[in-house]
Structure 1
Amino acid sequence: MVVGRKVLTRYEMRARVLKALAHPTRLLIVDKLAQGACSVGELAEHTGAKFPVVSRHLALLKEVGIVGCRREGMHIFYFLKTPCVLNFFNCVEAVLKATASAKR
């Protein structure tokens, strides 16, 4: 069976979202945002990464639609735009547990 271009494009889009999550710092950011909106400074403190590094990670997560932002006065707060991504984290944990069990 040959995959059509439209279907292939959908898989490429899915890969972009998954690739955006494929970094430990971005996973920490998403986990923190699951608790509520945060500023870049708060996320930098939480992750131990420098402010510009966190900003780049947030830009990538925003580009694929995982996070959004809102301005409050002089501050910008980031939030999970699609909290359903946390369901994927649960799935990853299940895979890790299954893999660990299989190795015993």
Structure 2
Amino acid sequence: MRIEKLEQGEVFVFGSNASGAHGGGAALFAYRRFGAVWGQSEGLQGQSYGIDTMSGLAVFEEQTRRFVAFAHGHPELVFLVTEVGCGIAGYEPDQVAGFFEGTPPNVVLPTSFVAILEG
């Protein structure tokens, strides 16, 4: 699924870096189109939500757990998750899809993540 625009209440979830320098990939797209804040690496930013995928798998997993908790607490929003970590960060879906275990129904995962989570 390629996300080109968002409806009211939709949030674009993208991979960031620790400094919040949204200079490439989905992060740059989030910065240009959906309100990502330069210098903010994690969390809700306009109609986008950043997860640091560049500081190692442990940081990535912890931030994803916080994202899942945030999504549970905000059922009024629909979170459209890109293949977070599978672009510039260089991970494969089978390395990171499990981080999204337990996402609520208002989180739309990429088909590659769903296939792995559903076995």
- The TM-score range, normalised by the shorter chain, is under 0.3
Q: Which one has a larger percent strand, Structure 1 or Structure 2?
A: 2
Relative to the length of structure 2, the TM-score reads: 0.25
Larger Rg: 1
Relative to the length of structure 1, the TM-score reads: 0.28
